[in-house]
A and B are shown apart, each in its own frame.
Chain A
């Protein structure tokens, strides 16, 4: 016997999608529906809630197979547009990480460094259809005689190109401030001294994992929007931590769950994969990610009805505490407060700025909605769950 009043299966929802009868809304629209009709009615009405997020995700990269040469080569060291890629794989397979800077980058020698070009920019160049210059060095063997190769190539020339991101879609993230007396340049942006600004980086109520706080539906095999194409959740992300402290509604109040995702790079677009340069920190890639959440029952309706006022995060000092691993925070704030443009930290009003694009997050949720309505996209039922915790949530509160 199910403990729920509404019970739907993936197969039933997919049948409704195929029949063009599925009701799909984005996570922002779902807030009003659940508020107005309650979770049970909302679950009866809505089949899928789409989420989205678009921001810098450093733990990203691509496996590329760059095509054989004559004679054949077993590449040992590889550079693309002077950015080193990892070549310790079979002959012409490489992994290009997005935070890898060009080899001649001055880094932080001229502080704060600009980090103009790196792995993330190459991925953007490739999906934009631009050619890149590849250089490989090798030691010769009887089966792979070539010692070096140089070639220009485009994404279309590669046998295989897989975006493979070991950690994306962080479920919640810190709000960063700087309590020291000098400006710091971090992956959370430029932070002025004496806590004069605060940066935050989450899509909040639109963010995938905040809409499925205990990973009931997001698991191995979940089909997703990735970089403008279709991808999959393939594992929990590195640092996935379901044990973070949570609010009564289930959402974590600290960085918690993460997902590993992959997808065919050839399907993706430069609109949703952007090379970024973070001053004083390094290069990276902004990734567009969207996850559809099946409303299997009223509990999933309740979870997806969460709003920014009910999601909290901690304020962390990135001037000293973060780098020295001091476990301390300067209080908690809601995403509604963060979005208002001003929060209070230690009794002082501090202006906030987002680093994650709300506009693009919503655009992704809308695209995913349209794909489903157009019957181009069906839900993938997870074959295994992500690690989670026991919980009990009162959905009538």
Chain B
């Protein structure tokens, strides 16, 4: 099973179309909405976890792009400032999915952007603000 988290930005023309429904129906994709901010007739954003066959996920993404939806892998949106992080481990207590975790026995604190859902819980917990989550700035990225 292929699981990836994407940051979607919907232009306002698409915000009232049943896009998510189509993803399920046409591409047999399981989804999990991690965050959504969509208002009718306005631009919307959504953080979406997609699960399915690799081929299907690829086709689903192509479908989204055709509709004018801007899609970006979320991995690029959550960053840890590696220079600033002093490997304390405080963030591992709040990260709900284990994207921030401790390697044993050396107790290094590692960050796996692939697992990160962008929930943002680690941001205020990190005492030196080394975790940066930004949903606003979109960089067009080669999709697949």
Residues in A with CB closer than 8 Å to B87 are 357-360
Q: Are B127 and A356 in contact (CB under 8 A)?
A: no
The CA-CA distance from A164 to B12 in the complex, in Å, is 58
B83's nearest neighbour on chain A, judged by CB, is A271
- A236 at interface, CB cutoff 8 A: no
A362 to B106, CA, bound (A): 9
A276/B108 contact (C-beta < 8 A), A357-B89, A360-B86 known: no
Cβ-defined contact, B128 with A356, below 8 A: no
Q: Do B107 and A276 have beta carbons less than 8 Å apart? A: no
Complex Cα gap A252–B104 (Å): 25
| A278 at interface by CB-CB < 8 Å | yes
CB contacts (< 8 Å) of B124 on chain A: these are 112, 114, 279
Contact among A55, A190, A340 with B88 in the assembled complex (CB-CB below 8 Å):
A55
Binds B, one of A67-75, A347-355, A368-376: A347-355
CB closest residue in chain B, given A363 = B87
On whether A341 and B86 interact (CB within 8 A), knowing A190-B93, A277-B127, A286-B127, the answer reads no
**Minimum C-beta distance from A80 to chain B (A):** 20
A197: nearest residue on chain B (CB-CB)?
A: B93
How many interface residues does B have (CB within 8 Å)? Answer: 21
User: In this assembly, does A302 line the interface, its C-beta being within 8 Å of a C-beta of chain B?
Assistant: no
Q: Chain A residues with Cβ under 8 A from B108's Cβ?
A: 359
Task: Render A84-119 as a binary contact track against B, CB cut-off 8 A, 1 for contact.
Answer: 000000000000000000000000000010100000
Confirm or deny: A61 has a beta carbon within 8 angstroms of a beta carbon on chain B: no
Contact in complex: B90, A359 (CB < 8 Å): no
Is the C-beta of A167 less than 8 angstroms from some C-beta in chain B?
no
Q: CB distance A286 to B86 under 8 Å?
A: yes
A190 touches B128 (CB 8 A): no
Q: How far is the CA of A326 from the CA of B105 in the complex (A)?
A: 35
- Contact in complex: B94, A190 (CB < 8 Å): yes
**A54/B86 contact (C-beta < 8 A), A190-B94, A276-B128, A359-B107 known:** yes
Collect the chain B residues with CB atoms within 8 Å of residue A341's CB.
102, 104
The interface residues of chain A lying within 8 Å CB-to-CB of B106 are: 358-359, 362
Interface readout for B79-93 with A: 1 if CB under 8 Å, 0 if not?
A: 000000011111111
Please name all residues of chain A whose beta carbon is closer than 8 Å to the beta carbon of B89 when the two chains form the complex: 353-355, 357-358
Flag whether B129 is at the interface (Cβ < 8 A).
Answer: yes
Is A199 within 8 A of B90, CB to CB?
A: yes
Question: Which residues of A sit under 8 angstroms from B125, Cβ to Cβ?
Answer: 189-190, 279
A253 at the interface (CB under 8 A from B): no
**Which of A276, A278, A353, A362 has the most B CB atoms < 10 Å from its CB?**
A353
Which B residue's beta carbon lies closest to that of A362? B106
- Shortest beta-carbon distance from B1 to chain A in Å: 26
Instruction: For the complex, give the distance between the alpha carbons of A357 and B94 in Å.
Output: 17
Contact of A357 with B86 in the complex, beta carbons under 8 Å = yes
| B104 contacts A355, C-beta separation under 8 Å | no
In the complex formed, the residue of B with least CB distance to A276 is B127
B124 to chain A, nearest CB (A): 5
User: Beyond A114-B124, A339-B104, A359-B107, is A274–B93 a contact (Cβ under 8 Å)?
Assistant: no
Are B104 and A189 in contact, CB atoms less than 8 angstroms apart? no
A257 at the interface (CB under 8 A from B): no
Set of chain A residues within 8 Å of B104, measured between Cβ atoms:
339-341
Residues of A within 8 A of B109 (CB): 359
Q: How far, in angstroms, from A359 to B92 measured CA to CA in the complex?
A: 15
Nearest residue in B to A200 (C-beta to C-beta)?
B89
**A66 → B minimal CB distance (Å):** 26
* 8 A Cβ contacts from B99-126 to A: 102, 104-109, 124-125
Interface string of A326-340 (1 = CB under 8 A from B): 000000000000011
Interface check A275, CB cutoff 8 A: yes
| Beyond known contacts A286-B86, A357-B88, A359-B87: 18 more, CB 8 A cutoff | A55-B88, A197-B93, A199-B93, A274-B128, A276-B128, A277-B127, A277-B128, A277-B129, A339-B104, A339-B107, A340-B104, A353-B92, A354-B90, A354-B102, A357-B87, A357-B89, A358-B106, A360-B87
For the complex of A and B, the 6 pairs showing the least CB-CB separation, nearest first, are: A353-B93, A358-B107, A276-B127, A354-B89, A359-B87, A357-B88
Of the A-B pairs whose beta carbons lie under 8 Å apart in the complex, a sample of 30, sorted by A's number, is A54-B86, A54-B88, A112-B124, A197-B94, A199-B90, A199-B93, A274-B86, A277-B127, A278-B127, A279-B124, A284-B127, A286-B86, A286-B127, A286-B128, A341-B104, A353-B91, A354-B89, A354-B107, A355-B89, A357-B86, A357-B87, A357-B88, A358-B87, A358-B89, A358-B107, A359-B87, A359-B107, A359-B108, A360-B87, A362-B106
